Amino acid sequence: MIFSRDALGAATASQHGLAINQHGRIYRNGSALSFEQKVAVAVEYLKAKNDANGTRPNISALSRKCHVSRSTVTKVEEELISSGQVIDPKEIVCNRDIPSGPGSKSLSDLDVFVVLLLYHQEPSRTLKSYVLGLYTNTGTLVHESTISRFFKHGFEIKCSLYKPNLIPYDKFRPENLERALDYLMTVSLFDRS
């Protein structure tokens, strides 16, 4: 179904988290095209390629005909060239062996060990000194934000040190005044000799 891209149509679609593309079709931002739609685009692409005697078909004409974006047609074309078919999203398997987490793409296990060693040597060092120390010891050059992200999110238990308030907000409550008097009385009874 084709929809109007006027202000009312765009506003109504955006209220529901949707958008209207340049060809009047409604789509959800960030979502992938369904497998059936990818196959339909692939069929039209192969027909156009056959009509063009094997040369690359006009991507803009295909995107208008299929009511999808040029990038969608290009992605389907890349799948057809690389694998000879349209890939079903169910067939795509994520590689579980790829490390994940803060700094995992740039810090190896040795780099993490060196950063922690640098921390134990001098906990008050700057992020720049961590970067320099890591480069000096292992040859790995990372950005300061990688070190910061590692320290902020790299551990299961996070703790932060805060400077306590020297004067409590509730110091003049009656219970606190009574406790202070009890403390003074106890301390004054100690033998000072």
pLDDT, one tens digit per residue, over 106-126 is 788 899 899 999 998 988 888
The H or E element that residue 127 is part of is helix 127-138
Domain annotation covers residue 182: no
Are 77 and 123 within one domain? no
The predicted pLDDT at position 114 comes to: 93
CATH number of the domain that residue 57 is part of: 1.10.10.10
Phi and psi (nearest 5°) for 38?
-65, -40
pLDDT of residue 132: 93
Identify whether residues 13 and 86 lie together within a single domain.
yes
Range list of β-strands (E), the chain: 18-20, 26-28
Average of per-residue pLDDT across 85-94: 67
Of 126, 169, 172, 170, nearest in space to 151 by CA: 126
Number of H helices, E strands in the chain: 8, 2
Give 146-190 pLDDT, tens digit per residue: 888 888 877 777 665 555 555 555 666 788 788 888 888 888 888
Domain count for the chain: 2
Q: Choose the final residue of a domain: 134, 153, 172.
A: 153
What pLDDT score was predicted for residue 31?
A: 64
Mean pLDDT for the chain overall: 77
Yes or no: say if 57 and 43 are a contact pair by the CB < 8 Å rule.
Answer: no
pTM over the 0.75 mark:
no
Q: In this prediction, what percent of the chain has a pLDDT beyond 70? A: 66
Q: What's the pLDDT score for residue 50?
A: 85
Residue 39 within a domain? yes
pLDDT of residue 113: 92
On the question of pLDDT at 130 being above 80, the answer is: yes
pLDDT band for position 86 (50/70/90)?
confident
DSSP classification of residue 68:
S
Gap between the Cα atoms of 2 and 67, Å rounded = 9
- With a cut of 60, say whether residue 2 has pLDDT above it: no
Residue 93: predicted pLDDT: 52
Q: Is the pLDDT of residue 25 over 90?
A: no
